[in-house]
Amino acid sequence: MIGYFVTLLATALGLLIVDLIVPGVEIANFPSAIVAAIAIGFVNAFIRPVVQLLSLPITFVTLGAFSFVVNGLLLWLAAVIVPGFKMDGILAFILAPIVLSLSSTFLNKYFAERGVGQS
C-alpha cells in the first residue's frame, strides 16, 4: 500500500520537474501536482488501453512514433481534468510525457534503492 503512495509522490515530483523544464506546462502548487498524479494514474489505468488498442494500426505504420502523440494526448486529458495543471503548445504536448517518464522512473528507482515504500 505504501508503494502506491511512493509512486504517487514520484509522479507528483516528476510533474513539478516537468513544470520547471518544459515550456508550456504550468502546475500551480504541490497539491495540484498530487491531484494531477492521481488523474494521470486513472487515465493510464482506464483510458490508455482503449486508446492504444484503437491507435494500434497507426502506431504500427509509424513504427511506434505515434505512441508519443498518444502519451501527449493522455497527459493533456489529465491537464483538462485537473484545475491548476495546464499544458499549452505542441512542445509541451510532445516533451512533457517524455520528461515525466524519465523523471518519475528515476525517482521511483531512487526511492526503491533507499528502501522507501517496501515492507
Tens digit of pLDDT for each residue in 32-80?
999 999 999 999 999 999 999 999 999 999 999 999 999 999 999 999 9
- The reported pLDDT for the residue numbered 112 is 87
CB 52 within 8 A of CB 118: no
Answer yes or no: is 6 within a domain. yes
Whether residue 27 is contained in a domain is answered as: yes
Task: Give the contacts of 23 (CB within 8 A, at least 6 positions apart).
Answer: 89, 91, 92
Domain assignment of residue 118, yes or no: no
Residue 87 DSSP symbol: E
Q: Which residues contact 68 (CB under 8 A, 6 or more apart)?
A: 94, 97, 98
Q: How many domains does the chain have?
A: 1
H or E stretch covering 25: strand 25-27
CA distance 58 to 66: 7
* Residue 119 falls inside a structural domain: no
> Is residue 41 situated within a structural domain?
yes
Ranges of H-type helices in 1-119:
2-21, 30-42, 48-54, 56-61, 66-81, 90-113
Mean pLDDT of the chain: 93
pTM for this entry:
0.89
CB atoms within 10 A of CB 100: 22
Please tell me the predicted confidence (pLDDT) of residue 93: 92
Please check whether residue 38 lies inside any domain of the structure: yes
Does some domain include residue 47? Answer: yes
Which structural domain, as residue segments, surrounds residue 103? 2-113
C-alpha grid cell, residue 60: 504500427
Report how far Cα 51 is from the mean position of its chain's Cα atoms: 16
**pLDDT value at position 118?**
67
